[in-house]
Amino acid sequence: MKTTTIDLKVKYFGTPVVLISSLNPDGTPNLAPMSSAWWLGDCCMLGLGNSSQTAENIRRTGECVLNLASAELVDVVDRLEG
Ligand SMILES: Cc1cc2nc3c(=O)[nH]c(=O)nc-3n(C[C@H](O)[C@H](O)[C@H](O)COP(=O)(O)O)c2cc1C
């Protein structure tokens, strides 16, 4: 069997998008789409850009909420772009 190595720029195809909410320093909510969230047992792994406001908020408050889209919202969430 012949194998071909493909050198992709990004070896990542994402997972279903969650909306991650956190609290800004001024008390307002921050909502960002996120595709790198997955669970191992009862632990959640987040692949989050270090310089995002969300990351800063989580470092400051130690908390966030992962919002899973309802069936009615899935189509809208799937159309979110960065
Ligand atoms: C569909 C989609 C998925 C995304 N997934 C991630 C992700 O997994 N990790 C991440 O760091 N940013 C992800 N982003 C980018 C963040 O949502 C984007 O950087 C956002 O502006 C961060 O907002 P903040 O600076 O208010 O936290 C994604 C964007 C889109 C549209």
**pLDDT band per the 50, 70, 90 thresholds, residue 24:** very high
Does residue 77 surpass a pLDDT of 90? no
Residue 32 CA: nearest ligand 1 atom is 17
Task: Identify which of 31, 35, 9 has the alpha carbon closest to the alpha carbon of residue 20.
Answer: 31
The pLDDT of residue 82 is 62
Please give, one letter per residue, the 3-state secondary structure of 7-55: CCCCCCCCCCCEEEEEECCCCCEEEEEECCEEEECCEEEECCCCCCHHH
Percent of the chain with pLDDT over 90: 54
Average pLDDT over residues 44-56: 95
CA-nearest residue for atom 7, ligand 1, is: 34
The pLDDT of residue 69 is 87
Domain boundaries, the chain: 18-78
Q: How far is CA 21 from the centre of its chain?
A: 10
Does residue 33 surpass a pLDDT of 80? yes
To 5 degrees, how large is the angle CA 74–CA 79–CA 82?
125
In this structure, the dihedral spanned by the alpha carbons of residues 38, 44, 47 and 52, taken in order and rounded to 10 degrees, is: 130
Residue 22 CA: nearest ligand 1 atom is 27
Mutation test residue for ligand 1: of 13, 54, 56, 77, the one with most atoms within 8 Å of CB: 54
